[in-house]
Amino acid sequence: AEVHSFLLIFSHDYVSEEMNTIVQGIRFCKVLQIYFPFSTQLYPKEFPGQDPRDCPRDISKEDAVRSGCLNAEHPDSYGHYREAKFSQTKRHWWWKLHFVWERVQAMQGYSGFAIFLEEDNYILPDFFHFYKLVLEFKKTSCSDCDMLALGNHNGLSDFSNMSNKVLTSSWLSTKHNIGMAISREVYYKLMGCSNDFCTYDDYN
């Protein structure tokens, strides 16, 4: 019965009538759709999309400066230039995090966790039960744990011995980005790192 009280938010970076029809067919809980306003679909030939005057990904900085392409002075640490399809993922994630906590009226006054899932994540029937157990573990045994990761990339080779275990560790984006549960308190901590997040030299 608890599932009926959920608010399921779909954050899109692509407008699709087919997807819209599928989402509108969901009846088991409340649903909200939000749309990333700075998508490459909406800006296909200008920033934040891929401007035709942008430097090609693999051009050398010397050749980029000589050609006068827009971002010639700013290759990444590997010498590559921005690809909009990859940088959109980062921008969309940051916008979505902010929008959910600051703009969604139903979230105002809510101090629990929001669980972020990607479009290729599958959840099992005991997902919410598992979430509540991890939340209880946090309260009783790991009060300084900021983020909950409810999935992993590794799978379990010894499921029977490991299925009742919880791992506490430093967060790594490549390991702990499945089913991230983030509280408002942690959201505020992350917003304090906006400049670092936006200027960090990601490499995808």
Q: State pLDDT tens for residues 92-145.
A: 999 999 999 999 999 999 989 999 999 888 888 889 999 999 999 999 999 999
pLDDT of 12 > 60? The answer is yes
204 has a pLDDT exceeding 60: no
Query: Residue 114: phi, psi to the nearest 5?
Result: -105, 135
C-alpha span between 200 and 76 (Å, rounded) = 10
Least confident of 16-30, 37-51, 73-87, 162-176: 162-176
34 closest CA partner among 114, 98, 86, 85: 98
Strands (E), 13-67: 30-35
Please tell me which residue, 177 or 61, carries the higher pLDDT value. 61
Average pLDDT for 140-166: 83
> Residues 100, 195, 105, CA angle at the centre, nearest 5°?
15
The pLDDT, as a whole number, for residue 94 is 95
What's the DSSP call for residue 50? -
* pLDDT given at position 28: 93
DSSP for residue 164: T
According to the model, what pLDDT value does residue 177 have? 85
Count other Cβ atoms within 10 Å, centred on residue 82: 19
Q: pTM for this structure? A: 0.88
- Residues annotated within a binding site for Mn(2+): 120
Calpha distance 109→105 (Å, rounded): 9
Are 42 and 25 spatial neighbours (Cβ–Cβ below 8 Å)? no
Write the pLDDT tens digit of every residue in 57-78. Answer: 999 999 999 999 999 999 998 9
> Does the pLDDT of residue 1 top 90, yes or no?
no
Give me the mean pLDDT over the 16-39 stretch: 96
Residue 32 CB burial class (10 angstroms; 0-12, 13-18, ≥19): middle
pLDDT at 31 over 70: yes
* For residues 176-194, average pLDDT: 92
Look up residue 32 and give its two tokens. 């909200």
Token pair listed for 137 = 């573990």
Closest-CA residue to 202 (of 77, 33, 111, 91): 77
Name the token pair of 185. Answer: 């308190």
Residue 203 has what pLDDT? 63
Nearest to 178 by CA among 154, 145, 143, 142: 154
Strand partners, 181: 115, 148
- Mean residue pLDDT of the chain comes to 91
Task: Write out the binding residues for substrate.
Answer: 13, 88-92
Is the pLDDT confidence value at 54 over 90?
yes
Region of poorest pLDDT, from 11-15, 178-182, 200-204: 200-204
**Pairwise CA distance, residues 186 & 180, whole Å:** 12
Question: Domain extents for the chain?
Answer: 83-204
Residues flagged as binding site:
13, 88-92, 120
d(CA 17, CA 23): 10
Better pLDDT: 24 or 120: 24
